[in-house]
Amino acid sequence: METGEILMDLAALAKKDPCLRQRLLATADDPHPLAALCRIAGEKGYELCEMDLITAGESYYAAMRRSTNGGGENSPLLAGEDDYYELFLAELRAQEEQGGAL
């Protein structure tokens, strides 16, 4: 299973389980947030490591840049688009604001 799929599955689980959502959101306060997220993913049966999160975001962003403006270096910088962890947390925060009803 790819990293994006794992994060989508975790977000779906968090939508149904407020306690899990709180644990996942709390990883942001951990001294090693990516490791904390990977531990929780492992508890839920998903194989995920820190480098998976880092390289998946970078690979996705690199592919996006190659697809715009012929892949030239003048492609616009999209802040945060390469950070799967932060995008995942943003989704969880949105769930929290909606009371899990997203």
pLDDT digits over 68-86, tens only? 555 555 555 555 456 788 8
Q: How far apart are CA 85 and CA 94, in angstroms?
A: 14
- Parse the chain into domains and list their residue ranges: 3-70+79-97
Mean pLDDT, the chain, integer: 83
At residue 99, the pLDDT reads 76
Q: pTM (2 decimals)?
A: 0.76
Q: Is 78 exposed, middle or buried (0-12, 13-18, 19+ CB in 10 A)?
A: exposed
Cα–Cα distance list, 40 to 20, 54, 62, 70 (Å): 9, 17, 28, 39
Average pLDDT over residues 42-50: 96
Residue of 82, 88, 89 whose CA lies nearest to 63: 82
Whether 65 and 71 have beta carbons less than 8 Å apart is answered as yes
